[in-house]
Chains A and B, each alone.
Chain A
Amino acid sequence: MTATRLGFALLLGVAVSAPAIAQAPGVTKDTIKIGSFGPLTGPSYLYGKLVMNGIDVVFDEVNAAGGVHGRKLVLVREDDKCNAEGGIAAVKKLIHQEQVFLIHGGGCSNAAIAARDEVEKAKTPWVVFAAVADSVSAPVAPNIYTTALYASLESVAQLQFALDKGAKKIAIVSMRDAWGRQRYEPMVAAVKAKGITLVADEELTPDANDATPQALKLKAAGADAVLMVLYPKPAAVFLRDAWKLGYKPILVGQTAISDPAAFEEQVAVPGATVNFSTISMVKYVPDDPAVEKWRKLVEAKFPGDRLSTFNLFGVGSAKVVVEALKKAGPELTQARFLKALGELENFDAEMFGAPITCKTPDHRCNKAPAWLKKDPGGPTKVLGVTKVAM
């Protein structure tokens, strides 16, 4: 009887656990299929292809060490062309055709926002790696987490940075389209919360060819720090016109202008970017010796590529995903993965400004923007990290 009971118990155990394993899409005895979407082509490929390349080298390293609980990680890429319809198509394919276990992607905010409904409906775990729009990760969904910074956090950080630099007269120059407003409104709220009165608040359109009125007004107002909520092109026009007028305030950018070296080349006016600093999602620049290992891995796997900041986004985010997969255990289900991810606290993903904590009500795991600055003719350097309490 005992043997019978034991046998029955074993059979019951298998019967209970087997469906859980069988039901987890994208998981086999040997592999875990992870889907990724982002722009693989066009000028926005930085936020897709390059981030995925960073993920790839982390997965290669994990796989070389035997995988996660014996399962190798397989990355499946889809090109969303950085547009809404591309984002929807990409996640549908990953979820329903490729049947991935989780999605680790989202480079362009518009594509990610459009894709969100589909991912939420399918309840597929999604770790966002680069899209920063607030509405990608809000309202909170049980299956969506992000390791990227987000727009309202960056706006608060921009203000904090200017105040930390000793600025007394703050001004904003911003785009007021949908992208701009989601940064501008939290920024203005943060200014009010600190009891600060802006000395100037000017608008600049994305296709502006001249920013003389804006620069004149900011100069006339005596602003010693200008918080820029601008795409790179209008930002470059603004910097040129400010420089022309001899106006040299502290200029505070955000992740839309994530590469100070490229921005300096594109402004193409010697000295115009000397007071410009901007936010980075990661605390290293590509030529930092601390990331030499990743440089070798990326450049070996992708000949012709040089290590870029965007590769490092992927490296950091992939480490978070791998850690959650490990903690989810060998009996892998999507629910267990989400539980493990949601319990992640103070995890050192190596790349980000501070250890990652996903155990937050808002599922936003990275709240420590780093700051970059490039001296003219010199290297880009990391100035420090702002920890934003949000």
Chain B
Amino acid sequence: MLGYLLFSGVTTGALYALVALGIVVVFKATAIVNFAHGELFMIGGFLAYTLHVMLGLPYVPSLALAVACTFLVGMATDRIAFRPLMKSNMVALVLATVGFSFVLKGIGRSIWGGRGDYLPFPPLVGFDPIILPGDIVIVPQQLVVLIGALAVMVVFAAFFRLTRIGRMMQATADNPKAATLVGIRTDRIYMMTFAVGGAVAAAAAALMAPLTLLYPDIGFSLFIKGFAAAVLGGLASLPGAVIGGIGVGVIEALAGGYIHTSFLDVSAFVVIMAVLVLKPTGLLGGARLRRV
């Protein structure tokens, strides 16, 4: 049983990690939590569904196009919910993202909601189980999710370290005023940040949709888990988001398997609270910085 639970926990945790990455990348740059991030996941998933199931495009091009479209929706998040209120207080900014999340959910419901409570998404490979060493049975899509999530994380890391725009995003996240002083267009960087967050959300959705099934309310429930993972790992730490996500997934699976299934949802939050009591900035969060 342990093998099954660990594998299932790591697979779900990879999903949470991808959601958390999108939350953290926006938080690092803008110091706000984008409450519309869950709905970006939902929109990305449904776009992939439309392309792959309704229009018949192959899986990989559908995933790529969904990521590209949600990248644009992420830009819209910046333009509509963040940019107009940049100089406002934090509460206004957060409320704007909450409001935008409702707008996206309404759009999702009106376009796809009438098709049924939830929609199946065909997997990249068939559903016939694979038996791993130790007699652990998995479905191939779980491997696709793990490999896909790893690939996204590697691309993400490479983007930040190796590309000019990635380094500019890092610089803006570290010190927006200094970044402006050296000529970085921080307004465009913020837009790119939201866009990249959306793209990661869409990638997560398209990978996970064959396992989770799609429905218009999926965004908020995954956002909460992703946010919990980001808090556990450290809201300003990208590696922390990954560790936090995997951690939340594994804790849930083990609690459900060894304590009781009614503890599944709450267990991760109990652990997070315990971690935050001991280390308020999260597992990999650094010391609090005061920007001057």
Contact = CB atoms under 8 A, between A and B. Distances in A.
A216 B1 contact: yes
Contact of A209 (B129, B212, B262): B212
B215 interface: yes
Contact of B261 (A209, A214, A237, A266): A214
B218 A213 contact: no
Interface stretch (B55-63, B85-93, B113-121, B187-195): B113-121
A202 to B, nearest CB: 4
Interface string B87-123: 0000000000000000000000100011111111010
Interface of B: 1, 4-5, 8, 11-12, 15, 109, 113-120, 122, 127, 129, 137-139, 208, 211-213, 215, 217-218, 221-222, 253, 256-257, 260-262, 264-265
A176 B262 contact: yes
Nearest to A208: B264
A266 B119 contact: yes
16 contacts: A43-B114, A203-B262, A205-B265, A208-B264, A209-B12, A209-B15, A209-B211, A209-B222, A210-B11, A210-B211, A212-B253, A213-B256, A231-B117, A232-B118, A233-B117, A268-B122
A320 B152 CA distance: 60
Nearest to B249: A210
A204 interface: yes
A207 interface: yes
A244 B139 contact: yes
A61 B212 CA distance: 45
A203 B113 contact: no
A268 B126 CA distance: 11
A207 B218 contact: yes
A43 B211 contact: no
Given A207-B221, A213-B5, 15 more contacts: A42-B109, A42-B114, A43-B113, A209-B211, A210-B253, A214-B256, A233-B213, A233-B215, A236-B213, A244-B127, A244-B137, A245-B137, A266-B118, A266-B119, A269-B127
Interface of B is mostly: helix
A43 B108 CA distance: 13
Contact of A204 (B118, B213, B261): B261
Interface of A: 42-43, 45, 176, 202-205, 207-210, 212-214, 216-217, 220, 231-233, 236-237, 240, 244-246, 262, 265-270
A232 to B, nearest CB: 5
Contact of A213 (B11, B15, B119, B253): B253
Contacts of A202: 260-261
Contacts of B262: 176, 203
A213 B211 CA distance: 15
Contacts of B256: 213-214
B212 A244 contact: no
A232 B117 contact: yes
Contacts of A203: 260-262, 264
Contacts of B222: 209
A262 B137 contact: no
A203 B213 CA distance: 19
Contacts of A240: 127, 139, 211
B128 to A, nearest CB: 9
B116 A262 contact: yes
B213 A246 contact: no
Contacts of B253: 210, 212-213
